[in-house]
Amino acid sequence: MIEDVQNYLNEIRRDFMKQSLSENDVEKSPFDQFAKWFEEAVNSQILDPYAMTVSTVDNNCKPSSRVVYLRDISENGLIFYTNYLSRKGHDIEVHPYISVNIYWAELERQIRIEGTVNKAPKEKSDEYFAKRPRESQIGAWASEQSSVIESRTVLEERVKYFTEKFKDKPVPRPQHWGGYIIKPYYFEYWQGRPNRLHDRIVYVLENNQWKIKRLAP
């Protein structure tokens, strides 16, 4: 079976033909460029265009990656929400740096972002949590994210417990759950091109100013 996978990996080839990207065409702000590409992704009906892979490192500098949803963006940064006691939460506690990758295969585009990361203001987390579906609010209490559990039954019992505990009243935000805000110092916009000669336009924050540069593919 593994040989079939190896053959596929060695034989499959797909070229990138759809669009180009020039440093003369991009927006001056990487956030404006993000908004432009994100709108095009939404209009292209890409499934979960806000899905992004975030990578962190632990105290031993071992990396780990996972997909989360981008839930807000402004000139102040990008925000996602999670359990602060999760593996990524522990990683961020010791190394407050993060790498983000967003890939839209349908548009042959990729966005890479690097930056510092810290907890979002409590008011921001409270506001977002209050808008979540009630079942998701209960889930935030029930799941001790990234911890080992004996079976799914354990999780289901915790859901029942917190469902009963908060019956007929608002579900408060757990103190161990909330937002993280990523403050970027690097953006890379990647557009697939024929013959692997891809376009790579980067924004680098230098002396509080965004500098636009082109990288070799």
For tokens 């180009």, name the residue.
20
Q: Rounded distance, CA 37 to CA 49, Å?
A: 10
* CA 77, 65, 38, 194 torsion-angle sign: positive
Q: Which two tokens stand for residue 94?
A: 């010791």
Catalytic site residue 200? no
Of 195, 206, 184, 192, whose CA–CA distance to 77 is shortest? 184
Residue 153, SS3? helix
With beta carbons less than 8 A apart as the criterion, state whether 76 and 33 touch.
no
Give the count of beta carbons closer than 10 Å to the beta carbon of residue 212: 17
- Catalytic residue selected from 13, 152, 196, 214: 196
Of 132, 143, 112, 111, whose CA–CA distance to 179 is shortest? 132
Residue 104, SS3? strand
Report, as residue numbers or ranges, the catalytic residues.
196
